[in-house]
Structure 1
Amino acid sequence: MINKIFMLMTFIGVPLSVIGTLMHWSNIVLFILYCLTIIALASYMGRATESLSIVAGPRIGGLLNATFGNAVELIISIFSLKAGLVGIVLASLTGSVLGNLLLVAGLSFFIGGVKFKRQKFNVFDARHNSGLLMFAVIIAFVIPEVFSMNMSESKTLSLSIGISIILIALYIAALFFKLVTHRGVYQPDTEKAAHEEETPEWGKGRAMAVLFIATLVVAYISEHLVHTFEYVAESFGWTELFIGVIIVAIVGNAAEHASAVMMAYKNKMDVAVEIAIGSTLQVAMFVLPVLVIISLFFEQSMPLLFSWQELIAMVSSVLLMVVISNDGESNWFEGLTLLASYVIMGIGFYLL
């Protein structure tokens, strides 16, 4: 039933988005239409990555979901940088970290926990990811802010570029560790057996084709979505920070939201956790550093500097997730705790 609704939204939303753009409909109408269409397309991306996760395993499936889901946000961010909206880009990446760790993981833990009293996931992966989260957010994000207080803008940008290169290199090393040198080392035999019994909804070729086409369409819609931000902000009295942290982040991460919750409901917590935490790591260690480097080719460069509100929110989210996930188990109450934290931060950013 849900898949049929998303299919209807896609077949109506895509042509209406094109028509509305050509006929210059109201920016508010277009903003709503673009967001709903991107969310509908994200459902296809979620189904495709679920099929691929069955074929390739939970780690690669989660990685593919995070990659194609973050491709949406990367595309939106590049167009935003081109338009000079650096504040929205940084805010949307903050929102992505908060959204994945608190909203996506929270919904997954809560909905899965309502159906299953106790859900387990790979504790070794959880601890490995915890270390990377602490490094990426607490060290790589906080250090530039601290040192920039006594630096010129050019030196701050140089520091940001250096840190970005280190983040990308470490992220590639982390993938090599998980998918090559230590692939399957920490995977229990019960997981392997369960994985082998599943049948994917779509074959590998069809799933990859759906992911590719959906990403292209999202790229087209995202380019036009960016141009509605300023008008919508003025109309509703929203700040640039709120639009980035909440609105853009939710739309940009719709694929992860749908997929992770669906996996948790089916008790596939390894995939759900890999999507939520893996996507956060990819944003922090790959997407953001790449955007810092890409910004050098635009009129306005983007140093790796967040506001203190953004930094404290991200650090708090990481610490909470580390404490909750390090035992390799989840339940509905832990999910509710994460969701409550997201709502509190959302209210704060709205009133800021």
Structure 2
Amino acid sequence: MFNRILSILVVVGLPLSVIGSLMHWNALLLFAIYCLTIIGLASFMGRATESLAIVAGPRIGGLLNATFGNAVELIISIFALKAGLISVVLASLTGSVIGNLLLVAGLSFFVGGLKYKRQKFNEYDARHNSGLLMFAVIVAFVIPEVFAQTMNDTDTLTLSIGISIIMIGLYLAALFFKLVTHRGVYQKKEEQIEEHESPEWSGKIATIILFLATIAVAYVSENLVHTFETVAHELGWSELFIGVIVVAIVGNAAEHASAIIMAYKNKMDVAVEIAIGSTLQIAMFVAPLLVLISLLFSEKMPLVFTLPELIAMATGVLLMIVISNDGDTNWFEGATLLAAYVIMGIGFYLL
């Protein structure tokens, strides 16, 4: 039923997106159409990725889901960079970090916890990811902000480029560590028994759907970016709120749905890998990559966030580490993460 509704969003939304952009419909109407269409397309990307990942195990499955889920936001951010909307891009990165850690993980823990009293996942992976989260947000994001206070713009950008290259290198090393040199080393015996599951689509069909959905998302995303300024003016929203809440939720719709479904099926290793793995990919790969891509445009993007953005991300990381390090969760822990996200959302709205 849920997939049918999302399919209708694509079938109806995609033609309306093309017609509306050509006929210059009202910006608010187009904004709503574009967002709903991207959510529908993201669901197709999530389902295609899940089909490709069924035989690959929870780690690679979660990585694939996070990668193609983040592809939507990366595409939106590149067009926003091209339009010079640096603050929207930084805000959307913030929104992705707190959205994945608090909203996606929170909903997964909550929904799964309503069905199961306790849900377990690999605590070794959780602890490994905790260290990377601390590095990515507390170290790599805070350091540029601190040093930027006494630097000029050129030096700040140079520092951001250096940090970005290091972060991408460490992220690739982390993948090599988890998927090659230490694959299965910290795996529990009960996790080695894999449940047989049939993919929704064959590998060939899933690949074609993934390719076509990505192209469609790129087209709709470029048009979506052009509505931001009008929407902000008409609704009284700040670019910060649009980036942190709206763009982040729309851009990560695929993995939002996938993580919750996995938690409901009691596949918590996959759900946690999607939520935390996606956060790490945003912080250690997507954000640095956008800094490097911005060098191609007239306005360059340093890796310098505002104080509210930094505090929100650091708080989300610390809360997630405390809750997830024991490899055990329940609905109340999910509710705690969701409450933190709502509090931050209200704060960003009122800024």
Give the TM-score of the pair, scaled to structure 2.
Answer: 0.98
Residue 314 of structure 1: CA displacement? 0.3
Partner in structure 1 of residue 332 of structure 2 = 333
Q: Deviations over 1:50-70 (max 9, x none)?
A: 222311111111111111111
CA distance in 2, matches of 1:207, 1:267: 24
Partner in structure 2 of residue 192 of structure 1 = 192
Alignment-mate amino acid for residue 15 of structure 1: P
Q: Secondary structure at the match of 2:193?
A: helix
CA distance in 1, matches of 2:52, 2:328: 25
Q: Secondary structure at the match of 1:200?
A: coil
Work out whether residues 108 and 264 of structure 1, in 8 Å CA contact, stay in contact via their aligned partners in 2. yes
Alignment-mate amino acid for residue 337 of structure 1: T
Q: Within 5 Å, give how 1:45-60 maps onto structure 2.
A: 45-60=45-60
Partner in structure 2 of residue 168 of structure 1 = 168
CA distance in 2, matches of 1:201, 1:55: 12
RMSD of equivalent CA atoms: 0.9
Partner in structure 2 of residue 78 of structure 1 = 78
Partner in structure 1 of residue 66 of structure 2 = 66
Partner in structure 1 of residue 303 of structure 2 = 304
* 1:136 correspondence with 2:151: no
Partner in structure 2 of residue 181 of structure 1 = 181
CA distance in 2, matches of 1:188, 1:202: 30
Corresponding residue pairs, total: 351
Q: Deviations over 1:57-103 (max 9, x none)?
A: 11111111111111111111110011010000000000000100000
CA distance in 1, matches of 2:349, 2:160: 28
Partner in structure 1 of residue 36 of structure 2 = 36
Alignment-mate amino acid for residue 252 of structure 1: G
Work out whether residues 109 and 334 of structure 2, in 8 Å CA contact, stay in contact via their aligned partners in 1. yes
Q: Secondary structure at the match of 1:150?
A: coil
CA distance in 2, matches of 1:238, 1:26: 17
Residue 300 of structure 1: CA displacement? 0.6
Partner in structure 1 of residue 108 of structure 2 = 108
Residue 297 of structure 1: CA displacement? 1.2
Work out whether residues 42 and 72 of structure 2, in 8 Å CA contact, stay in contact via their aligned partners in 1. no
Partner in structure 1 of residue 323 of structure 2 = 324
Q: Within 5 Å, give how 1:168-247 maps onto structure 2.
A: 168-195=168-195, 197-247=196-246
Q: Secondary structure at the match of 2:303?
A: coil
Q: Secondary structure at the match of 1:292?
A: helix
Q: Deviations over 1:147-201 (max 9, x none)?
A: 1111111111110000000000000000000111111212223223224x22222
After the TM superposition, list the runs of 4 or more consecutive aligned residues in structure 1 that deviate by more than 4 angstroms. Answer: none
Work out whether residues 53 and 59 of structure 1, in 8 Å CA contact, stay in contact via their aligned partners in 2. no
Q: Secondary structure at the match of 1:55?
A: coil
Unaligned runs of 5+ in 2: none
Q: Deviations over 1:99-144 (max 9, x none)?
A: 0000000000000110111111111110000000000000000001
Unaligned runs of 5+ in 1: none
Work out whether residues 42 and 258 of structure 1, in 8 Å CA contact, stay in contact via their aligned partners in 2. no
Partner in structure 1 of residue 147 of structure 2 = 147
Residue 350 of structure 1: CA displacement? 0.5
Q: Deviations over 1:202-241 (max 9, x none)?
A: 2222222222211111111000000000000000000110
Partner in structure 2 of residue 127 of structure 1 = 127
CA distance in 2, matches of 1:124, 1:49: 25
Work out whether residues 46 and 68 of structure 2, in 8 Å CA contact, stay in contact via their aligned partners in 1. no
CA distance in 1, matches of 2:237, 2:206: 38
* 1:249 correspondence with 2:223: no
CA distance in 2, matches of 1:99, 1:313: 11
